[in-house]
Structure 1
Amino acid sequence: MMISTWVSVTAMLVALMNGVRTEDNTQPCAKVHTSRSVVPLGSPVTATCVIRDDCPLVIGQAVHIEWRLGDRLIPSSPAVNESDRVSRAVVASFNHTRAVLTCCIQASNQVVAGVEIRAGYSPESPRNLSCQTNLTSPITLTCSWTPGQHDTHLPTNYSLHTEIWDSSKNHTYEPPSGVHHYTIPRSDFILFSEMKIYVKAKNSLGEATSAPVVLEPVSAAKFDPPKIRAIQVVPKRLGCLRLSWSLSQHQVWMRNYLNLEVRLKTADSSSWSEKTILLDQIKPSKPVVQCHLLHGTVYLAQIRVRYQQSPWSEWSSSHSGLTLESAPTGRLDTWIKVSRDNTPTQLNIQLFWKASKQFRANSQNVSYVIFLHKQPNKKSKLCSTSDNYCTFTVSKRARKVYLSALNRAGKSLPTDVRIYQPKVAQSAVKDVKAVPHDSRSLLVQWTSLVSSDLTGYVVEWRPLLKADLSHIHFETVAKNQSSFIITGNFEPYKPYGVSVYPRFEDGIGFPQTVNAYLKQKAPDIVPKIKIKNTWGSQVEFSWDEIPLNQMNGIIQGYKVFYWNGKNPVKVVSVGPEERKLILENLNTMTVYEAIMMVTTCGGSLNGTIIHFQVQPFDAVTVGMIVIASGVGLAVFIIFTFMTCFSKKKRLKGHLWPLVPDPANSSVKRWTSESLQYAHPSWNNEEPNPKCLSHLSLLDLTTKPIKGMDDLWLNRTEDTSDLAKSICGSPFIPGYNGSNSNSVPYATVIFSAPFNNPPPMERPVYLRSESTQPLLEMEESFSPKSYQNMVTDGKPVEQCFFGPDHDCIPEKGLDPADLWHDFPFLQALAMKESEDYFEDY
C-alpha cells in the first residue's frame, strides 16, 4: 500500500511538472477517467487517458500511450473516433485491494497521468449484539458486537442505534474506528421501558444492519452478588434449613420479583452439588427454606440472583448451617484383624470401620461402641471410642462382636462383625504392585491363585511415616477382581504401605505387602561409605540404610565409582538390598578415590568423595604371620623340652660337672662301676677323664663299728644314714649337721682308675661345696693344691700331700689346724696315708 501511494504521488508530481503553465495555475498534461475509484474485488475496471494538445511532451511529434497497473504493463487501445492522444485500458479482473493505474508516453517513458483504485467487499451484518446494564453508580447500558467474519479491505464505520418505544427519542452513537462497543449514558434510556437496539456497518461499497435486540434495560442488568445473612434450622423439621438473604447495598431499591438459585454441600465435601435449587419470583429479603437435607449435618450454602432473563450475578460468599440431629442409620463397613500372640485362651482384635453408602451419622458428634453380645450391657462392652478403629481382646471361643454408632439423638442398629481366624499358612495372592494412576490415586494390581473357598480381598493402605492406626484405610474387593484404584490424600515423595489380604470362608489369609509412592525423586542423602576390611589387593566397603523419611522413592540400587590418578574410572553396581561391597584387584600403596550414587525411579544423588589406600600388610596378614610364628615357636619349645627331658642325663653331663650328692647317694655308689657309669666316655670327646678313687678303708671311730663292712659292700641297702653319720661325725669339731647351711666335702681325683698303674703325676685334691640339705658349702670355687683358707686376714699356703717345690709350708703352722676346714677328710681318719696311696 505504501508503494502504491508512493507511485501515485510520483505520477501526480511528474504530471504537474510536465503540465502547461497558465497565468493562474499549472494544468496537467493528461487526465485518467474511470467509472469508479472503489470497486468490488475481482471486478473489471475501465480507464481512459486523455493528453492535452498543448502538453510540451507531445508537441510536434507522434504519440503512443502505454498503460501500467503498478509495475505491470497492461494492453491498451486507441479510443474509437478519437485522436492518438486518447487511449483506453481495460482490466478484466482487479485483484488488488489497492493499486495505481497510470498512462505513459512510450517515446520518453514519461508518466503523464494516473489514478488510485481500491477494491474490497461490502460490509457484513454485525453479529452477537448484546447489552448489559450496570446498576451500580453510575447506571449505564453497555452494548457490544462482533464485526463480520470477512475483512472488507475497505474502511468500515459502525454506528449504534436505539429506539425507545414509549418515547419518541431515538439515538445514534458512532464509536471510534476499530472499536466495537459503546456505553449509553443513563439519560438516554429508561430502566423499565423496552427499547430496540441495532448496529449498522457502512463502507464505500455498501452498508449492513445487525439483528435488533429488544430489551428492558433492567432485564439486562447483572446484579451484584447477594448476601446470606443467616442460616437457621426449622423447628421440628428434620433436614430443613432457613436462609435469610438480601441484595447488595447498590440494589436495595429493587422491589420487583427476582429469580434465586441456591447450591449446597456438606462441610466435608470438596465440591458443590451439581443439582442447584431454582426459585422463581422471589421477593428480595424473603427467607428461603431448603429441606430434604441430611440430619445433623453441617452444610455450606451460596446463592445468586437475576431479573427475568438477565445474566446471573456471581455467587455469594459461603455461609454454614447445621440441621437437626437424629439417630444414626445404616450399617458400617468393617475390617477385622485377629492375632493370638502366643496367648492360648485370648484373641487380640484390631477392628476398623468406615461409613458405607447407606450409613448416615445424622450428627456431628458420633461415637462408636463395640459389644460382645447383641443385647448390650455394661459387662459385654468391649470398646467405646470416637475414632474409626479400636483394639481389644476376646476369648478364643468368641465368634462375633457388634458395632453401633451413637449420638445425642440415639443409637444405630448394631452391625455384626464376624471374627475370622487367622490363616497365616494360606495365601491366594502374589505379585502385588502399586503404581501411580493419576495425581491423586494409586493403581494396585495382584495375581490371584485358584482357591475354592476364596470369598474376596481386602486392600489396605497406610502412610508408613505415621504409626497411628487411625491412618489405616481399607476397601473390600470382589474375588473376581485383580486390580483396584485407591484414592486419597496421597503426598508426593512419601512412602505408603499397600497390602492385599485374601478372604476365605473361614478366615483371613496371609497378605502380600509392597511400598508405593505417588511421586518419586532423588533421595535426600547418600549413605556414608565405611571401610570395613582391607586385605591383599581387596577392600570391603559397608554403609547404612537410608532412613525411610529421606528415601523419597523406592531404591533401585547403589553404584560405587572408584579411580586413581593413573587408571580410568571404574563402576560397580549392587542391588538395593545390599549393604556391603568388595573391590578387587587394587594396587597396594596407591591412593584411590571413591564416590557412591543412589538411584530411585525419580532421580539419582551422588555422595561425598572418600580416599582410601590398600597396605601391603594388613591386619589379617600380620595376624596370620604372628599366629604362624607363635605356633612355630611353641612347637620348637615343646620339641626342645621333650628332647631335653629324654636326654637329661647326657645334657646334665654337658652343662655342668657331676658332683656326688651325699644326700641322695651312698658310699656303695662310689665303686668303680658306679664311677664308670657316672663318667661315660662321651664319645671319646674327653680322652683322659678324672675318676674318683675307691675309698674302702675308713676309720670312723677308734673302734670299728660292727657290720660296717657289710654296709659298704651291700648294694641294695640304703647308705644315707652312713653318709649322715660321717657328715655329722662328732669328730668334726664345731660341726652340727642340723644347724649348718652348707657342708664342705672333698674328693680325691686321680688321672686313671684305681686298678691302673699309679700315675707319675701327683694326684689333685679338689675341694667342692654342696647346697644339699645334708651338706654345707663354704665357697663357690675349688682352690688349687697350694691355695687354701685365709687366716687372720692373710692367705695361708697349705700342703695337703706333703711339701714339694710348689708348696712350702709356713713355719709355725700346726698341720692339725689344716683339717678344720676339711671335716670330711678328718672324719675319714685315714691310717698310714702314704702307704695307703702307694697300695693304689
Structure 2
Amino acid sequence: MYFLLVLPLIVTGAISVHEGQKKECNVVPKNPYIQAGSDTRIVCDSSCVRGKVYWTLNNKKVVHESWTSAINSTHTMVTLRNVSVPQATVQCHQEHTGDILGGTIVRTYQKPSNVSCIWHYRNGSSLVVPELFTCTWEHHVHDQEKINYRYTVFGRSQLRASQLEICSSQNAKRCTSKNLSGYVSLVGNYRFNVTVRAETIGNNHWEVYSDPYEFNPRHILKIESPTLTLKAFSGYLLAEWDTSTTSDKHYCQVKYNEEVINKILEAGEKGTMTLKNVESCTYYKVSVRCAWEKAPWSEWSREETVLSQLNKRDVKLRLWRKVAEPDKNGARKVYAMWTEIPSACQGTFAYFIQQSVYREHEIQVDYSRTLCGNSTCAVIVSEDACRVKLTVFHNEALLAEDSVYVPAVGETGLPQVTNMQTSTLKGVIYVSWDAPSQLVRSYMIDWTHDGHRYHWKESNSTSAKLSGLPYKKPFNVTVTPLFDDKTGLGTQALQICTTVAAAANFSTVKVEVSDKSALVSWEMEQQDVCSGVIAHYIVFYGTEQGPQLNVTVNATQQEVLLKDLIPYTHYSMHVKAATLTGASESNVRHFNTKTFDPRFVTKLSVIGSVIIILVLSAGLCCTIQYRKFLMKPLPDPGLSSVALWPSGSHQKGMFPFRLFTYPSESLCARVYMDESRLTSAPDTSGPAFTAKPHKRADEHEEISTLSPSKECTTLLSEGSGQLSPYRSQGSVESPTQSTGKEFESLLPVKEQQLTASLAMYVTVDMFEHDQAG
C-alpha cells in the first residue's frame, strides 16, 4: 500500500529529472526486499529510445499482457504477483533490438514461524513461581548475503491490551527473559499470545512480524526435576521421588538401563515404582522426570546407581564333569565345572564336592567334603559308578546344590548319540546328531580348543549352535545324552576349526633380477591345523604403465622365473597363495631390471682377464729371452782370425782335434773341421768350412767324459803357451809337445786313438780381415 502511494511521486520525479538532464533509461526501484508471497511493481523509463519495450523475468520473456501496463509514452510498469522465490531478476528490453534498458533484483524475506515458549525454573531455584520464560522460533532467510537481524518477542494477555516486550536477541532464533516477576499477570492462569518481530540492522531496513501464537500457561510450564532415592532388594529395585507440584495430576517416566517405564500420579500421590526382572549382582542406573498434562517434560533427575542383590532363583550351577582315563589301579580324576556366581555379588561363598558311590545296587555316601574354588574342582573317584554333588553356601547359608552321574569303568548299556556332524560358518560352529533309542531328558554339549578351558551348554533338541568362539581355533565338541538319574556316554565329533584361514602368511619373498628376467622365490610361515591347504600360487607382476601380468605355479614349487621383461624398467610384483577357502597375499615388492645381462658382463670380464694374463705372460717371456740374448758373451770378430791345429801325423797320441767354444756353451755348440780339408795349401784363402764331428765305428760314449766346463778350461789353459786359439792363417804344427802331453793326461787312451781331425773357430769376416792384412 505504501509503495502504491509513493509510486506517482517516483514516476513524476523520474520524469522531471529526465526533462532537466540527458535522457537515460533505468528501472526503479533498485534491488527491493519484499515479503514472500506478496506483490510488487517495477517501472521502466524508456525515454532514451523510441518504440515499445518488453520485460523478462529470470531471462524469460513475460508474455502475460495483464502483468504489464504503460503509464505514459516513456514509462512502462510490470506487476509481479505472489512472489515466493528467494530472488528474481527483472529486466526491461527494447522491443526491436532486444537491448537491456535496465534491470533489478527482487529479493524476498519470510516472517518468523513455529514459535514455541516454555515457562520454567532456574536451576536450583526455590521459588514457587517459575522465573524464566524462553521462546524459540524459525526464520528462513534465502539471501546469500550476510544480513544481521534483531528479534523481539512481544506478549499480550487477555487482561492487558497493550503488548509487552518479553525478550530480544540478535541473529539467534532464541531468547530468554531471566526475570518474569513483572509479567506474572501476563502468564497467570489466563491465555496469552506471543509475536516475534524480525528487523534488519543496517542498510535496506525492513521488518516483519510473525503470526500470533496463543499459549495456555499450564501447557507451557516446565516443572522442576524430581529428587530420586533408590534401594536394592533381593530380586527387585525400589525407586522413590518427590516433585515440587503434587497438588495436580501429573505424569512421570522412570528410566533404568535404557528402559523407560511410564507412571501417572494423581494429585497428592507420592512417586514410587518397583523395578522387577533385574539380574542378580548387576549395577543399575536409574533416573526419573515428570510433567503436567500437555506440558513439556522436566529435566531428568540426577542419575542414581545401585547394585542389585543376589537372587537365589537366579543361581543355576549347571554342574558338569569331564572324566580322565583310569590309572593302573582303576582310580580316575574327575574335573567338575559349574557356572560361576558373579564376582560382583557381595558376601562370602563356599563350594564343596561330595561323592556317592553305587555298589551292589546301593548308594554309599561319602560324607567327607572337598573344598573347591569358584568354578572348577578336581576329585579322585574309584572305578565304580558314582554321583558327584556340588553344594554352595552363601554367608554360611545353603544357597544351591547340583549333582552329576559318573559311569563306572567299562559300564555297558548306556545310550549315546550317533551320526554326529559339525559345520562352521562365519566363526559359528553348528552341531547336529541323531538321538538314541531311549527316552532322553536333554543333551549336554561341551567344547574346548586347548583341553583345559571348557564351555558347555544344555539343549533339548538334536542340534546346537556354538557362537562367541575365538578366531581360527580348532575345537573338540562332545555331545552326551542326559536322563533323569543317569548320564549316557559322550560322543566326540571330528576336530573342527571356527574359521579356516586362506593360507599361512608369507615369511619372505626374494627377487634376483637380470636384464630380461627375474627369479622370484618365496617361503611360507609354518601352517597350523586351521590353515587352508594351498592349491597353487599366482605371481602378479607388471610395470606402472603396462598391464598386470600373472603366472600360476603349482603348490609344490616356490619359485618362478619371470621372462621377457624390459631392460632397465621398474616393476612391481606380489605373490598370492590360493586355497579352496580363500587366498593370502604377500606384500608388494618393487625391483628394476638391469641394463645388461650380469652373466654376459661376468663372462666378458673372465675372458678379458684371461687375455690380459696371456698377453702379460707372453710379454714377460719375450722380455726374459731378449735379456738373455743381450747378456750372452761374444768375441769381437774384428780381432779374430782362422787358426789351424796341428795334424795328427805330427803329434801322435794327442787329441785328434781342437775345440773352440764360448765359455758358456756346451759341446753341442762346437764347430769341427774335416781333416782332409786341413791339408790344403797354406797360401790358399780359407774357404767356408762345414765342420761336423765324426767317429769311428768302435767309438764309445765315454769319449766325452770331461764336463764342458772342465774341457773348456783345459783348452784355454793350453792356449796360455805358444799355442793360442787365435792364430795366423796357415797350417802350422805346434812347436811344443807339452800340449799333447797335457791332453794325454786329461783324456782316456781310446780318445787319443781317434782319427785326427782339426777344429776351428770361424767368423763371417775372418777372411775379409785376413785379406786386409
TM-score (norm 1): 0.45
Kindly name which structure, 1 or 2, has the bigger radius of gyration based on alpha carbons.
1
